[in-house]
Amino acid sequence: MVHRKTQRERSLDDSNCLSYLSIMSVAAIQNEILGLPATERAKLIDVLWDSLSSPEAKAREAAWAEKPERRIDAFDAGQLKAPDAQSVFSGLRRNLRK
């Protein structure tokens, strides 16, 4: 019988979690992760990604995320016009032919 962790057991503090994970195999960790709800797995992706990213990469990602946010704000404020679908698709077809 497989023991499924309760929410309380999953909410270990960082130090307990690290010692707990250090004795688990990758397969056991994977099984635990796949037992989590999708929203919790998505949060875990962010945590893992952040742990692998250098400060320079994080700064670059923040800068990249900033540009589309500014464009959305400009569109919402009526300062930026969206092209019509026909123009978008004809441009895509032209680029695919190249």
Residues 1 and 47 in one domain: yes
Please give the tally of structural domains in the chain: 2
Domain that includes residue 94, residue range? 55-98
Residues 61 and 85 in one domain: yes
Geometric angle at alpha carbon 74, from 73 and 80, rounded to 5° = 145
pLDDT attached to residue 17: 58
Has residue 50 got a pLDDT over 70?
yes
Count other C-beta atoms under 10 Å from residue 40's C-beta.
13
pLDDT attached to residue 25: 85
- Comparing 23 with 56, the larger pLDDT belongs to 56
Residues 45 and 62 in one domain: no
Residues 23 and 38 in one domain: yes
Residues 62 and 92 in one domain: yes
Confidence tier at 10 by pLDDT (50, 70, 90): low
Residues 2 and 42 in one domain: yes
Residue that the structure tokens 């032209």 belong to: 94
